Structure 1
Amino acid sequence: MKLQHTTSVIALLAGMTLALPAMAAAGDTQLEELIVTAQKREENVQQAPLAITAVTGASLQKDRVLSLEDLAHNMTGISFTANSPQSNEINIRGVVNTRLSSPTADQSVSTFVDDVFVARSGNLNSAFYDVARVEVVRGPQGVLLGKNVAGGAVNIISNSPTSERSGKVTVTLGNYDLRQTQGFLNGAITDSLNARFAFQTINRGGYAKDILHNTEVENLDSLQGRLYLSYRPQGSDLTADLIVDYSKDSNDGVNRVGLKSTTLPASFTPWSTTRALIAAKRGHLDVRESLPIWPLFKGDIAPTPQGARHETYNVIGKVEKDIAEGIRLSSITGYRNNQSFTLYDQTGLGPANGYNVAGPLLFAEPVNFNEEVEQVSQELRLASTNTDSAIDWIVGAYYQKSKVHQYNRYWGESTVLPTLSGESHWNDQGHNRDMAIFAQLGWKMTDTLKLEVGARYTKDKKWGFQQGIIVATGDRLNPADTAPLTPLTTNFATPYGEDWKKLTPQATLRWTPNDTTMAYGTISVGFKGGGFQNSASNAFAARTPYNPETVTNYELGYKTELFDRTVRWNSALFYMKYKDLQVQQTLSSCLCNVISNAPGATIKGLETDLQYAPNDWFKAWASGSYVDATYDTFVFAGVNNSGHMMQRTPKYQSAVGAEVTTDAGLWEDAVSARISYRWQGKMPWAPENTTWEKAYGTLDARLTLTSEDKNWSVSVWGKNITDELYRTNIIAFFQEEMSSFGAPRTVGVEFSAAF
């Protein structure tokens, strides 16, 4: 970003802020104070010297943020794409994993649930429920977050139990046959033990339809439950928490539609051409209608339908105890177990489409991923607790191990191409071990100036065994084919393994001139270990690792509250240098996915957030981000991507919203209306910058009536009210873009009763 541009943006925002005093009312602040724990200590988010956004559970519920996808569609500086129900892709500041689902792959943007790292992105399909807050940390966090973080992190914090006996039940009905229930029971079991049980069920019809099998797709059936026990013995500084949760969800598959690209070089367009012929026969074919093939795997007596199923249980134990004067020991133990099944047709239309229409080069390639994951983690910390001392410190150790077994089945049917006919399987058993020690020291140099320095030493080890199996070559159209189904070229069985070590330092200087203003400067290094290809073409490819990625971040930020704390304005300016950024692409030469390293990338930008609450009945907010993310040098498969925009990264994002609360007759603060709009600029889907998603925006709103005693409420809500059509993923074939779409307009009514 040019300095002149940055200066003009800051000046514009400052001008907006200075225009607010005439509307501000003196008195106590109406802005919500949030306590976060991203740096392993409780602190006001306004005093935390890092780019962090914290969203309360109440705000999440008002905006119907039920998933990581919803979260990304409700904020700036973060975006979401998804190749399949097994590959959720979170992008923060241009850093994103694209279809990185190998058993040894780490995520550049990490996700934590109740401070425990979640190793597999496919484990996060479960919807949010009974959440206290979500913390989104932007930029590398190489010291304290528990797992070394290269691009940023999302931490989902559950509501903890209290001694007060309470409960709540919420029922929601909406279009697409939505039926949702959620609730909790909370209270004391003994004088020292509190408990909270929370649950959620969601049953929803499909946003799209498989017209070949007359089946709704993109539907959802889910069940979730959590038991949270909190032990606080009287007269002791011991605290112990146990969290046990379970989730299960299923759907009948995804909707994939081949659209003719307006930017790719002229080539064949078999899917859009065939869809046009089918539309002529039917009279209509909508983008939310597709014709996926259900594969008949060798040895089966019936085709396997599209669908996805996940089942996860999670156990977390947290213990804290003062072991000496001014020293506290903290322990966080985590265990996760997940089983998942995903089958989807990558093209959404094949030669066997029920309409006797088959365009040239038309093919179908359903893929089936079966994954079992077992993960354990342990973190131990010692931290100083004397808040009057000029010195504070944290030291700790971290261990995490996961075992991932993938059995992937690819099935292909093609009109002409031998490599797209037949059936190939991959059996991959991967192991990941992460060990680290870390320390941070804080020194209050003056009453207003504090220096924090820290470092983390990480050792990652990845190993396993992968087997590629040619099950069948030809298909019903070309039974004599001898070429195996891509990307497999030959049967193989090979072990693989490698380890990487890295020291990641960090230094932060924090200036707090008064209790409403804080500014900071940070230099930090993030690291993510390397890994190995899944569904490799041969033994050499399976045992050849891709390199770890590292990033160095230079960041300046400030957080301030103005005009009797009726205005809150936070901003951050950052400059990041990436080395060996892990990028996965689809090669047109083999129609296969390959993970490679972009030698260098530069990311620079500005993020700003403004909140305004002049009184107790009105509040408004606005945020925006500018990210200039480009590859410095990146040549892959003969294509020079140097200087191109980084994939799936919109340069501009913005969001605005407001909420008004008023009386209804004698009922005080009974009616509230909330509206929000989020917009993002166009973005390239791949490093070649030849396929793009156009700019789009989504509008949400909610109207709530609350009873006089606040014991019940009824709301009507709408998401994507303008029914904006946007895509969450594409894969380019020829001059076609195999497209997946975001949720359409959804509306509903919600009733809540507290007791």
Structure 2
Amino acid sequence: MYPISTRSVLLLSAALVAVLPAPAAAQDAAPAEPSSDAAQEPASNDIMVTARRRSESAQSIPLAVSVIDAKQLDETGSFNVARLQQLTPTLQFYSSNPRNTAVNIRGLGAPFGLTSDGFEQGVGIYIDDVYYSRVASATFDFLDVAQIEVLRGPQGTLYGKNTTAGAINITTNQPTFAFEGRTEVSLGNFDFRQSRLSLSGPLSETVAARVAVSGTTRRGTITNVVTGQNIQSLDNIGVRGQLLWEPASNLKITLVGDYNKQDAVCCGSVFVGTTATQRPLNRQFAALAAAQNYAPPSTNAFDRLSDLDAELRAANVIAGAALRLVWDIGPGTFTSVTAWRYWDWIPRNDRDFTGLPIVIASNNPSQQNQYTQELRYAYTGDAFDFVVGAFAFDQRIDTQGLEAHGPASSRWTIAPNNPLSNDPTVLNGLTARNTQFLESTSAALFGQLSWKVTDAFTIQPGVRLNYDEKRGFYERRVFTGTGTELTGTETDARSRAQLGVFQPQQSAPEDTDWNLTYDLTLSYELAPDVLGYGTYARSFKTIGINQNGLPTDANGVPIAEAGTIRPETVDHFEIGLKSQFWDRRATLNLAAFRTDIRDYQATVTNGQFGVLRGFLANAGKVRSQGVEADFSIRPSQRFTAYVSGAYTDAKYIRFVDAPCPPELAGGTTAAPGQTPSAPGTPGGISPANCDISGQRLPGVSEWSFSFGAEGNLPASVFGKDGEAYLGYDGSYRTEFSSNASPSAATQIAGYHLSNFRVGFRADDGLNLFAWVRNAFDQNYFEQLFVGPGNTGLIAGLPGDPRTWGATASITF
């Protein structure tokens, strides 16, 4: 890692701004070329997208897609995917730290819970055609983005890496042969500082370059009363450079490199409350805390006080390079994208969610190297359009895990009727060291054809052939506080108590799989600017392997057949209507969908300390269905408004052996024929697993909305002509579950967020505005967590309180 700090970027930006030509001088140059084909907006008020790997109108394609341009991203403060979800109601984003991040569309994509390297993401993230396999990249700031397209539904016949739930297609501004640039500085409460700079211009008649830098800092919104630190901070830096060579009029070769670094005091939680479990009463949270004279710093989560005593850190680096060749050959375009991505994750966590030294370290640093190669040919003709491509992917992830217990663990973890529970030395220093790796290789051939049967009717079939190979290794070694390694065969009482927390284990799962999938879309232009379409897609998510250890049988022996999980089989149906009217001043798009997934890849967690972080298993069947509507209106240059809404009914159709919610966990496991106790019965009989068929999927609100408007009037400020404007953006979502198995204790109430901005845009590119986000200081949770050990502890991650500030930018 390079010793680059956000402060350095801020100073660099200020220095560069000072020496840049004044905007008037920049305007004397030749008109700037468009930064990105995807970012052009025709006078017809239409929006151009590259969702189908060619530039076309968003209204002309039979596909549900949301488009957010650079202006909307900048002025709404949507500088990463987490903030993007407030603008796109069908997008769900959950993150307890960068590694444990999930991005879902329509409730599908990745199982809720701690992330495993052993499964694929269902929502693909692509930046300038490069696939980002780690969702951690979604936590970084956007760098010089021109446009973002959120594609809903399977996209495997168009995109290199198969995507079963959708794709986030990000287009950045490209190098130009006319000098242009943009600089922006934002200041706000919580010591928020953000600075951005981009410059582009020619190096010769055939070579152009573009460079962009971004830095963001903010102190945390939660105060740790133990360390005095403000946790949940931001400390991001990003640099992106591009070099474009045009040796001929029909050939473009672009070399891209980027470096992104985070080093935040993150990620923590606050005490939310407790729920009754089936553990004996003296082993539930209230009794255990009282036995050690412990009380949380506040019982009101929105006091935003924490007492986590282990070190917190969320440091990571994502970097890479790509070579992109675009060659116009006759009636079509050949594209080659060769890319390397790197990810280095350096975490520190407190997984007992308390200020007691129970778990004093829970860290799983890892390193990833990813190589991709995509070849694609896109043809556009009078009767036929098509895209054909080939994709290769190779990935290696290495992880070095460490989990250690402290002096408070004995009393907390060992049953009170065991005399060893009163001896703090039994578990103090008990350490599990995990070594694991994953090697993943896949290759695919894919293609999609558009046959224009008539001027109004189009038939669009697609097909994909995919091969996947995964090979993993996991080893856990266990050491006592004195450094003695436990083999798992020890019989003395002290060792058995220690092995009840950590068991040595080794596994090496591997598997291969072939998949053939396909889709068919029919579209018909019902009238000018009115397009109807229907889609059926058979898709899949490839095999998974358990990378964090295997579940064990009644004798503590790892279950080898649980090492791999079956691929998901996806059947997707969708009908939609796209329309524009009032001379294209108004746009109304509707979509209804149903997605059925057999062998859904779910995360199963074990409530005991250290037994497993979580493993993957197949649920029988999952279904997501719903209706979406997007409406926008622009009656004049002085006013725009939009509203988007989604009804999503996402549930487990069949999951008979799911993990139990906390109120049904912690008791004596029911024997065959034995009836489990009622929920929350202390010392009760707990089912071995629970049937959650018919329950809603976690993280999905039944209703979600995004809405906003902006109006402007002519104005003159500082002698500059332009427009004064007032804007509002809001979002609303109903309640959702924050646990893989629904529980009343982890149900998050619905909430509404409102953001305002007021400012002045000058005709020469100056933009000054003040903003306030979560203007009414809504208290809400992003996630709730079930504490380990079935004690009934519920911790949570509060969403940001009201934030405010101001932004100044200039485009030249």
Give the TM-score normalised by structure 2.
Answer: 0.81
* Structure-1 residue corresponding to 2:803: 746
| CA distance in structure 2 between the aligned counterparts of 1:364 and 1:81, rounded to whole angstroms | 24
| CA distance in structure 1 between the aligned counterparts of 2:298 and 2:599, rounded to whole angstroms | 50
Q: Is the 8 A contact 1:257 1:347 kept in 2?
A: no
Tell whether 2:155 aligns with 1:141.
Answer: yes
Q: Is the 8 A contact 2:45 2:584 kept in 1?
A: no
**Correspondence for 1:397 among 369, 390, 403:** 390
* Structure-2 residue corresponding to 1:24: none
Taking a change above 3 Å as real, the CA distance of residues 271 and 365 of structure 1, as seen in their structure-2 partners, is: farther
* Structure-2 residue corresponding to 1:725: 779
Tell whether 2:126 aligns with 1:73.
Answer: no
| CA distance in structure 2 between the aligned counterparts of 1:493 and 1:255, rounded to whole angstroms | 31
Aligned to 1:640, what secondary structure does the other structure show? coil
Larger strand proportion of the pair: 1
| CA distance in structure 1 between the aligned counterparts of 2:274 and 2:648, rounded to whole angstroms | 26
**Correspondence for 2:226 among 183, 207, 212:** 212
Aligned to 2:73, what secondary structure does the other structure show? helix
Tell whether 2:565 aligns with 1:560.
Answer: no
* Structure-2 residue corresponding to 1:18: none
Tell whether 2:767 aligns with 1:710.
Answer: no
Taking a change above 3 Å as real, the CA distance of residues 715 and 400 of structure 1, as seen in their structure-2 partners, is: same
Paired residues for 1:292-303 under 5 Å: 292-294=308-310
Q: Is the 8 A contact 2:238 2:260 kept in 1?
A: yes
Taking a change above 3 Å as real, the CA distance of residues 484 and 523 of structure 1, as seen in their structure-2 partners, is: farther
Tell whether 2:141 aligns with 1:123.
Answer: no
Supply the AA of the counterpart residue of 1:341. I
- The one-character-per-residue Cα deviations of 1:266-291 (angstroms, maximum 9, x if unpaired) are 97334997799877989998642211
Supply the AA of the counterpart residue of 1:469. R
| CA distance in structure 1 between the aligned counterparts of 2:375 and 2:42, rounded to whole angstroms | 38
* Offset, 1:218: 1.0
Paired residues for 1:158-557 under 5 Å: 158-234=172-248, 236-261=249-274, 268-270=284-286, 287-294=303-310, 305-323=311-329, 325-352=330-357, 363-364=358-359, 366-385=361-380, 387-388=381-382, 390-413=383-406, 414=409, 415-418=411-414, 422-472=430-480, 480=494, 482-484=496-498, 488-489=502-503, 491-537=504-550, 540-541=558-559, 544-557=563-576
Q: Identify which range, 32-41 or 672-681, moves more after superposition.
A: 32-41
Taking a change above 3 Å as real, the CA distance of residues 645 and 276 of structure 1, as seen in their structure-2 partners, is: farther
| CA distance in structure 1 between the aligned counterparts of 2:70 and 2:627, rounded to whole angstroms | 27
Q: Identify which range, 412-421 or 709-718, moves more after superposition.
A: 412-421
Aligned to 1:60, what secondary structure does the other structure show? helix
* Structure-2 residue corresponding to 1:578: 597
* Structure-2 residue corresponding to 1:692: 747
| CA distance in structure 2 between the aligned counterparts of 1:392 and 1:487, rounded to whole angstroms | 60
Identical counterparts, % of pairs: 26
- The one-character-per-residue Cα deviations of 1:710-744 (angstroms, maximum 9, x if unpaired) are 24222111111122222222222333322122222
Taking a change above 3 Å as real, the CA distance of residues 284 and 89 of structure 1, as seen in their structure-2 partners, is: closer
Q: Is the 8 A contact 2:505 2:558 kept in 1?
A: no
Aligned to 2:597, what secondary structure does the other structure show? strand
Tell whether 2:121 aligns with 1:107.
Answer: yes
Taking a change above 3 Å as real, the CA distance of residues 280 and 587 of structure 1, as seen in their structure-2 partners, is: closer
* Offset, 1:265: 7.7
Q: Is the 8 A contact 1:473 1:485 kept in 2?
A: no
* Offset, 1:480: 4.6
* Offset, 1:398: 0.6
| CA distance in structure 2 between the aligned counterparts of 1:651 and 1:563, rounded to whole angstroms | 32
Supply the AA of the counterpart residue of 2:64. A
Tell whether 2:712 aligns with 1:661.
Answer: yes
Tell whether 2:692 aligns with 1:674.
Answer: no
Q: Is the 8 A contact 1:418 1:482 kept in 2?
A: no
* Structure-2 residue corresponding to 1:649: 700
Q: Identify which range, 678-687 or 479-488, moves more after superposition.
A: 479-488
Supply the AA of the counterpart residue of 1:440. Q
Taking a change above 3 Å as real, the CA distance of residues 536 and 59 of structure 1, as seen in their structure-2 partners, is: same
**CA RMSD for the aligned pairs?**
2.8
* Offset, 1:84: 2.4
Moved over 3 A (4+): 28-32, 261-267, 269-287, 363-366, 418-421, 479-488, 537-543, 589-592, 665-669
Q: Is the 8 A contact 2:581 2:587 kept in 1?
A: yes
| CA distance in structure 2 between the aligned counterparts of 1:732 and 1:584, rounded to whole angstroms | 14
Aligned to 2:84, what secondary structure does the other structure show? helix
| CA distance in structure 2 between the aligned counterparts of 1:345 and 1:440, rounded to whole angstroms | 48
- The one-character-per-residue Cα deviations of 1:435-462 (angstroms, maximum 9, x if unpaired) are 1111222211111000011110111111
Q: Is the 8 A contact 1:80 1:91 kept in 2?
A: yes
Taking a change above 3 Å as real, the CA distance of residues 249 and 272 of structure 1, as seen in their structure-2 partners, is: farther
| CA distance in structure 2 between the aligned counterparts of 1:731 and 1:581, rounded to whole angstroms | 23
Q: Identify which range, 494-503 or 727-736, moves more after superposition.
A: 727-736
* Structure-1 residue corresponding to 2:56: 43
* Offset, 1:487: 6.6
Q: Is the 8 A contact 1:293 1:366 kept in 2?
A: no
| CA distance in structure 2 between the aligned counterparts of 1:70 and 1:417, rounded to whole angstroms | 39
| CA distance in structure 2 between the aligned counterparts of 1:284 and 1:160, rounded to whole angstroms | 49
Supply the AA of the counterpart residue of 1:500. D
Aligned length: 700
Q: Is the 8 A contact 1:108 1:528 kept in 2?
A: yes
| CA distance in structure 1 between the aligned counterparts of 2:300 and 2:577, rounded to whole angstroms | 54
Supply the AA of the counterpart residue of 2:477. I
- The one-character-per-residue Cα deviations of 1:99-134 (angstroms, maximum 9, x if unpaired) are 353333211222122221111122333111210111
| CA distance in structure 2 between the aligned counterparts of 1:139 and 1:449, rounded to whole angstroms | 22
Supply the AA of the counterpart residue of 2:435. N
Q: Is the 8 A contact 2:302 2:798 kept in 1?
A: no
| CA distance in structure 2 between the aligned counterparts of 1:327 and 1:29, rounded to whole angstroms | 23
Q: Is the 8 A contact 2:89 2:705 kept in 1?
A: yes
Supply the AA of the counterpart residue of 2:802. R
Aligned to 2:509, what secondary structure does the other structure show? strand
Aligned to 1:564, what secondary structure does the other structure show? coil
Supply the AA of the counterpart residue of 2:695. H
* Offset, 1:515: 4.1
Supply the AA of the counterpart residue of 1:88. T
| CA distance in structure 2 between the aligned counterparts of 1:435 and 1:495, rounded to whole angstroms | 22
Q: Is the 8 A contact 1:200 1:225 kept in 2?
A: yes
* Offset, 1:493: 3.1
Q: Is the 8 A contact 1:103 1:429 kept in 2?
A: no
- The one-character-per-residue Cα deviations of 1:325-381 (angstroms, maximum 9, x if unpaired) are 3343211111101111111112331434xxxxxxxxxx4464102110000000112
* Offset, 1:33: 2.6
* Offset, 1:665: 4.6
Paired residues for 1:605-624 under 5 Å: 605-624=626-645
* Offset, 1:483: 3.5
Taking a change above 3 Å as real, the CA distance of residues 377 and 522 of structure 1, as seen in their structure-2 partners, is: same
Give the TM-score normalised by structure 1.
Answer: 0.87
| CA distance in structure 2 between the aligned counterparts of 1:671 and 1:275, rounded to whole angstroms | 62
| CA distance in structure 1 between the aligned counterparts of 2:577 and 2:129, rounded to whole angstroms | 26
Q: Is the 8 A contact 2:113 2:739 kept in 1?
A: no
| CA distance in structure 2 between the aligned counterparts of 1:568 and 1:272, rounded to whole angstroms | 59
